[in-house]
Amino acid sequence: MNSVSPSAVQYIVGGGAHEDRPSAQSRRHNGHGSAPDGLREGSGEPDEVDRLKAKFMSAWNNVKYGWTVKSKTTFNKTSPLILLGQSYLFNSEDEVDRFRQAFVSCVWLTYRREFPQLEGSSLTTDCGWGCMLRSGQMLLAQGLLQHLMPPDWRWADCHPLTDVDFEVLKPRSPSRPAGMSLPSFSSSWTNPISQRDPSSGSSEDHRRTPARCPAASHEPQLEALHRKVVSWFGDHPSAPFGVHQLVELGKESGKRAGDWYGPSVVAHMLRKAVARTTEFHNLAVYVAQDCTVYKGDVMKLCESPLTQGLSESWKSVIILVPVRLGGESLNPSYIECVKNILKLKCCIGIIGGKPKHSLFFIGFQDEQLLYLDPHYCQPVVDVTQGNFSLESFHCNSPRKMNFSRMDPSCTIGFYAQTKRDFESLCSAVSEALSSSKEKYPIFTFVEGRGQNYGLEGQSGGSMDGPANIFSCNRMSRNNKRGSTDEFVLL
């Protein structure tokens, strides 16, 4: 049934904007609503009717998100494309191949089906409700790759790009719609034969040996580490950053399997997951409070309790900043600022999306965002097997969307390996934030600690609930809450 290439990631349901987010009526009691999760109201155990409902909804979502239709993405050969702080200009085959290696090496995490049942429900899939969890997983995975792998690491088995075209796009003119282009040039940079369906593991395409990246690392130790990072996001209860673990952490914030998770809630869930894992002890996650990164809190979080003040004791840090870039839609004044943030090498992406449709943004070209889309349902992969397939965890079909379609609710991620990197990050991000046409920046860096400003605890420490996201204009708060993620509007 899933015979169409998954790489298109364009959906026949609702013209591409599916009903992932519940209606306002269904959000009345839990803030964001829930899909049927097999739990009777007020009870911790599913009854038979709820089990049947959950099975029906799971089956429907598996079909709904298991279909894709082919659609080409066009890239401008004369404009630079930014991907995770790196710039690419598609004026040569070598440059396109450099982009291909970088894009395909990103970890792609999507809906899965037939995984072990989530505790307290009868769900065995996250189709239809887990897209924000998957976007958050992708951001954390990118941070871990930067933390553990060499800067120039590329997956050795990355596939050719599919469903893409490279053209010379003319500037917009009054007589011609934007985006109309000159005829495309023939190119050997893509290979449509490489399209594959991860669900059809026995197909010839799936068994075909992928083209190996010439510049990619073939070191067995790095490939083993790459596989280990992917396994941490496996759909198994023991995986430290898998859906099972994140759903358990979400219960502390009043969430349960089947609920919609907003970007700020997911940020705190990722923080808790990293804090509780035993996989490594030299990485911390800090979540900004009230549109503010308190430098003192980051310093305290990253310095070892035994040897605070010594540079060699510094923990690397992932900084997550939940923000809201407008009211019901994106404020155009912030577009240039978002672009400048994505140009920074310390930026590891943005979890957000378009209305009712979570995406993971990793770059842009001209007025369009580059993203990875979790809305494709694939069979579960047993990551406990030593040599599990990595193909379904990497996407070879890049997709773009216009900035104007971006949902204003999002979380921006950054990574700093050393104390000096953190100081450089503060300087570079502050400069990028100053490019906004708005009087007040998206967020700020402040000396000292949050408790000095009347805030209890720190976002990297003991605070369990999601922080409220306030306007950075402290003097003109309008105290209006956003409808989706506990925001006061900027």
Whether the pLDDT of residue 266 is over 50: the answer is yes
Closest to 21 in 3D by CA, of 12, 32, 37, 6: 32
Q: What is the pLDDT of residue 260?
A: 86
Mapping DSSP onto H, E and C, the string for 448-482 reads CCHHHHCCCCCCCCCCCCCCCECCCCHHHCCCCEC
Q: Is the pLDDT of residue 5 over 70?
A: no
pLDDT at 213: 56
Range in 245-254, 307-316, 345-354, 408-417 with the lowest mean pLDDT: 307-316
* 487 vs 167: which has the higher pLDDT: 167
pLDDT of residue 42: 42
What Rg do the C-alpha atoms of the chain give, in angstroms?
Answer: 22
Please check the confidence at residue 1 and state whether its pLDDT lies above 50: no
Q: Does residue 476 surpass a pLDDT of 60?
A: no
- For residues 234 and 247, give the distance between their C-alpha atoms in angstroms, rounded to a whole number: 13
Q: Which of 244, 375, 394, 426 is catalytic?
A: 375
* 3-class secondary-structure state, position 317: strand
Least confident of 9-23, 313-327, 332-346: 9-23
Known active-site residue 472: no
**pLDDT number for residue 355:** 80
Q: What is the pLDDT of residue 413?
A: 98
Q: Which of 318, 300, 253 is nearest to 468 (CA)?
A: 253
- What pLDDT is recorded for position 51? 55
Q: Taking residues 259-283, what's their average pLDDT?
A: 93
* Rounded average pLDDT over 429-446: 89
Query: pLDDT tens for residues 34-90?
Result: 444 444 344 445 566 565 555 555 554 554 444 455 678 999 999 999 999 999 999
Q: Can you tell me which residue has the tokens 């019901």?
A: 328
At residue 466, the pLDDT reads 41
Q: How confident is the model at residue 453 (pLDDT cuts 50, 70, 90)?
A: confident
What pLDDT band is residue 15 in, cutting at 50, 70 and 90?
Answer: very low
Whether the per-residue pLDDT at 149 is higher than 90: the answer is: yes
Give the mean pLDDT of 182-204.
Answer: 40
Q: Is the pLDDT of residue 202 over 60?
A: no
- Span 253-263, mean pLDDT? 90
Determine the Cα–Cα distance for residues 206 and 74; give it in Å rounded to an integer. Answer: 26
Mean model confidence pLDDT for the chain: 77
CA distance 275 to 285: 8
Alpha helices in 41-148 (DSSP H): 48-64, 93-105, 131-148
Neighbours of 357 (CB within 10 A): 22
Strand partners, 294: 446
Query: Tell me, what's the pLDDT at 436?
Result: 78
Q: Return the minimum-mean-pLDDT range out of 25-39, 66-80, 111-125, 339-353.
A: 25-39
CA 106 to chain centroid, in Å, comes to 11
Q: Percent of the chain scored above 70 by pLDDT?
A: 66
373 catalytic per annotation: yes
Q: Which of 131, 213, 337, 346 is catalytic?
A: 131
In this predicted structure, what is the pLDDT of residue 208? 39
| Of 343, 374, 347, nearest in space to 360 by CA | 374
| 52 token code pair | 């049947």
> 179 pLDDT band (50/70/90 cuts)?
very low
Most confident of 48-52, 68-72, 161-165, 242-246: 242-246
Selected residue with higher pLDDT from 482 and 253? 253
Q: What's residue 418's pLDDT?
A: 95
Furthest C-alpha separation in the chain = 68
Structure pTM?
Answer: 0.77
Task: Say whether pLDDT at 475 is over 80.
Answer: no
pLDDT band at 462 (very low <50, low <70, confident <90, very high): very low
179 to each of 10, 30, 96, 351, 485, how far by Cα in Å? Answer: 19, 42, 20, 26, 33
Please name the residue that has the structure tokens 């694939």. 378
| Residue 104: partners with Cβ closer than 8 Å, 6 or more residues away | 155, 158, 159, 161, 213, 394, 395, 396
Higher pLDDT, 454 or 343: 343
Q: What is the pLDDT of residue 169?
A: 67
Instruction: Please say whether the beta carbons of 433 and 442 come within 8 A.
Output: yes
Environment class of 246 (CB within 10 Å of its CB; exposed 0-12, middle 13-18, buried 19+): buried
Q: Judging by DSSP bridges, how do beta strands 378-379 and 112-113 pair with one another?
A: parallel
Least confident of 85-99, 191-205, 429-443: 191-205
Whether 465 has a pLDDT exceeding 60, the answer reads: no
Instruction: Give residue-wise pLDDT tens across range 384-395.
Output: 998 999 999 999
What does 318-338 look like in DSSP terms, one character per residue?
A: EEEEEEE-BSSSB-GGGHHHH
Q: Report d(CA 39, CA 444) in Å as an integer.
A: 41
The predicted structure's pLDDT at residue 438: 77
